[in-house]
Amino acid sequence: MSNNHAVIIGAGAAGLMCAISAAESGVDVLVIDHANKAGKKILISGGGRCNFTNMYTEPSNYLSQNPHFCKSALKRYTQWDFIAEVDRVGLPWHEKKLGQLFSDNKSQAILDMLLNRCDELGVTIRLNCTMETVSQQENGFILNTNQGVIECHALVVASGAMSFPTMGATDFGHKLAKKFGLNITETRPGLVPFTLDARDLAPLKNLSGVAIDAMVSCRDMSFRENILFTHKGLSGPAILQISSYWKPGQSVTVCMLPDIDLAQFFKDAQQNQPNKQLNTVLRQHFPERLIEAFCQDFDLSKPLQQYKHKDLTSIAERFQNWQFIPSGTEGYKKAEVTLGGVDTDEVSSKTFEAKSVKGLYFIGEVLDVTGHLGGFNFQWAWASGHCCGKAIADSMTA
Ligand SMILES: Cc1cc2nc3c(=O)[nH]c(=O)nc-3n(C[C@H](O)[C@H](O)[C@H](O)COP(=O)(O)OP(=O)(O)OC[C@H]3O[C@@H](n4cnc5c(N)ncnc54)[C@H](O)[C@@H]3O)c2cc1C
- pLDDT, tens only, 86-109: 999 999 999 999 999 999 999 999
**Residue 260, Cβ density class (10 Å: 0-12 exposed, 13-18 middle, ≥19 buried):** middle
Instruction: Kindly give, in sequence order, each residue whose CB lies less than 8 Å from that of residue 332, ignoring residues fewer than 6 positions away.
Output: 162, 163, 164, 165, 169, 189, 338
Ligand 1 centre and the CA of 70: distance in Å? 18
* DSSP one-letter string for 5-36: EEEEE--SHHHHHHHHHHHHTT--EEEE-SSS
Residue 167, phi then psi, degrees to nearest 5: -100, 20
Domain identity same for 53 and 200: no
**What is the CATH number for 222?**
2.40.30.10
Ligand 1 centre and the CA of 346: distance in Å? 22
Ligand 1 centre and the CA of 192: distance in Å? 15
Domain identity same for 157 and 244: no
Question: Which of 269, 301, 329 is a domain's end point?
Answer: 329
Domain identity same for 143 and 215: no
Mean pLDDT score, 63-74: 98
pLDDT above 70 as % of the chain: 99
16 lines ligand 1 (CB under 6 A): no
CA distances, 188 to each of 52, 139, 200, 218 (Å):
23, 35, 24, 17
pLDDT, one tens digit per residue, over 143-202 is 999 999 999 999 999 999 999 998 888 999 999 999 999 999 999 999 999 999 999 999
- Rounded to the nearest angstrom, the gap between the alpha carbon of residue 232 and the centroid of all alpha carbons in its chain is 21
pLDDT, one tens digit per residue, over 290-309 is 999 999 999 999 999 999 99
Residue 2 pLDDT > 60 = no
Instruction: Kindly give, in sequence order, each residue whose CB lies less than 8 Å from that of residue 276, ignoring residues fewer than 6 positions away.
Output: 269, 303, 304
Region of 122 on the Ramachandran plot (φ > 0 left; ψ -120 to 50 alpha; else beta): left
Supply the mean pLDDT for the chain. Answer: 96
CB-based contact 37:127 (threshold 8 Å): yes
pLDDT, one tens digit per residue, over 330-350 is 999 999 999 999 999 999 999
Domain identity same for 152 and 225: no
Residue 4 pLDDT > 90 = no
End-to-end CA distance of the chain, in Å? 27
For ligand 1, what atom is nearest to the CA of residue 167? 47
**Confidence category of residue 396, pLDDT binned at 50, 70, 90:** confident
Per-residue burial over 139-177, b = 16 or more CB atoms within 10 Å of its CB, e = otherwise = ebbbbebeeeebebbbbbbbbbbbbbeebbbbbbbbebb
114 lines ligand 1 (CB under 6 A): no
pLDDT at 222: 98
pLDDT, one tens digit per residue, over 19-46 is 999 999 999 999 999 999 999 999 999 9
**Confidence category of residue 397, pLDDT binned at 50, 70, 90:** confident
What long-range pairs does 166-170 form, CB within 8 A, spacing at least 24?
A: 166/333, 167/35, 167/40, 167/41, 167/44, 168/33, 168/34, 168/35, 168/40, 169/41, 169/332, 169/338, 170/34
Question: Which of 299, 329, 359 is a domain's end point?
Answer: 329
**Confidence category of residue 398, pLDDT binned at 50, 70, 90:** low
For ligand 1, what atom is nearest to the CA of residue 366? 26
The parent domain of residue 175 ranges over 2-188+338-397
CA dihedral 151, 357, 12, 133 (to 10 degrees): 50
43 lines ligand 1 (CB under 6 A): no
169 lines ligand 1 (CB under 6 A): yes
34 lines ligand 1 (CB under 6 A): yes
To test the pocket of ligand 1, the residue of 41, 118, 379 to mutate (highest count of ligand atoms within 8 Å of its CB) is: 41
Domain identity same for 234 and 347: no
377 lines ligand 1 (CB under 6 A): yes
CB-based contact 312:270 (threshold 8 Å): yes
Question: Which of 329, 355, 372 is a domain's end point?
Answer: 329
Domain identity same for 205 and 343: no
Domain identity same for 317 and 353: no
Domain identity same for 227 and 302: yes
369 lines ligand 1 (CB under 6 A): no
**Confidence category of residue 375, pLDDT binned at 50, 70, 90:** very high
For ligand 1, what atom is nearest to the CA of residue 365? 26
Domain identity same for 316 and 270: yes
Provide the domain count of the chain. 2
Domain identity same for 81 and 228: no
**What is the CATH number for 363?**
3.50.50.60
Domain identity same for 40 and 90: yes
Ligand 1 centre and the CA of 191: distance in Å? 13
pLDDT at 168: 84
Q: Take atom 51 of ligand 1 and give the residue whose Cα is closest.
A: 336
pLDDT above 90 as % of the chain: 96
Domain identity same for 19 and 168: yes
CB-based contact 190:337 (threshold 8 Å): yes
